[in-house]
């Protein structure tokens, strides 16, 4: 059975929304500052996400920006099944815990992406590990600072 015209439109519109999100992420990634040292968690991160529910995994990049005292904007770009790219933003609250920042938050990624996701993670100057949960999935992501690009 072939998809209906309405289903085809939905797939096309969803793909365009994901592509637009990815292009804004790419611009943000390119202009993100390098960390200053100390407990600065702002800037670029890269690594992998892994679903504890079904074992799926994929690459993940993130740009973290401090928006106000104890508030952070995390712009993620994930790859699913090696071909699907998805970018989204999560607003997180950060509290200092020793030499790291404990990040928590909740973001509604929409029905196609699994609905509301909750985040609970810890970031220091070199590592960002986080657990996520949603109605349909739960897992973790492990990120570190990317290698310094030379020109």
Q: What is the pLDDT of residues 90-99, one digit of tens each?
A: 999 999 999 9
Helix ranges (DSSP H) in 1-151? 5-31
Q: How far apart are CA 104 and CA 71, in angstroms?
A: 10
Query: Domain limits at 37?
Result: 5-144
Assigned domain for 133 exists: yes
Give the number of C-alpha atoms closer than 13 A to the C-alpha of residue 141, restricted to the C-beta side. Answer: 25
Mean pLDDT throughout 127-148? Answer: 95
pLDDT, residue 12, reads: 37
Mean pLDDT throughout 111-137? Answer: 95
Q: For 25-29, 43-47, 109-113, which range has the lowest pLDDT when averaged over its residues?
A: 25-29
What are the phi and psi torsion angles at 28 (to 5°)?
-65, -40
pTM (2 decimals)?
0.75
The total number of structural domains that make up the chain: 1
Mean pLDDT throughout 76-91? Answer: 92
Q: Which H or E element spans position 34?
A: none
pLDDT, residue 124, reads: 95
Mean pLDDT throughout 101-126? Answer: 95
pLDDT, residue 10, reads: 37
Higher pLDDT, 13 or 21: 21
Assigned domain for 151 exists: no
Q: How far is CA 49 from CA 12, 124, 139, 142, 143, in A?
A: 26, 18, 7, 7, 9
pLDDT, residue 112, reads: 84
Q: Hey, what are 141's tokens?
A: 């992501």
Domain CATH number, residue 50: 2.40.128.120
pLDDT, residue 104, reads: 98
Assigned domain for 150 exists: no
Q: Hey, what are 98's tokens?
A: 């020793």
Q: How far apart are CA 38 and CA 21, in angstroms?
A: 31
Q: How far apart are CA 103 and CA 132, in angstroms?
A: 11
Residue 18 has pLDDT above 90, yes or no: no
**CA 119, chain centre distance (Å):** 10
Assigned domain for 50 exists: yes
Higher pLDDT, 2 or 83: 83
């Amino acid at each position: 059975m072939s998809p209906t015209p309405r289903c085809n439109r939905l797939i096309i519109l969803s793909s365009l929304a994901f592509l637009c999100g990815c292009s804004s992420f790419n611009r943000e990634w390119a202009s993100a500052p390098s960390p200053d040292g100390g407990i600065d968690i702002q800037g670029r991160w890269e690594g992998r996400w892994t679903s504890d529910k079904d074992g799926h995994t994929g690459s993940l990049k993130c740009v973290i920006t401090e928006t106000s005292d104890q508030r952070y904007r995390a712009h993620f770009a994930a790859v699913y099944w090696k071909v699907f790219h998805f970018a989204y933003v999560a607003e997180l609250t950060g509290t200092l815990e020793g030499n790291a920042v404990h990040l928590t938050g909740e973001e509604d990624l929409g029905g196609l992406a699994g609905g509301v996701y909750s985040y609970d993670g810890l970031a220091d100057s070199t590592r960002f590990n986080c657990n996520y949960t949603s109605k349909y999935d739960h897992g973790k992501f492990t990120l570190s600072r990317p290698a310094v690009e030379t020109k």
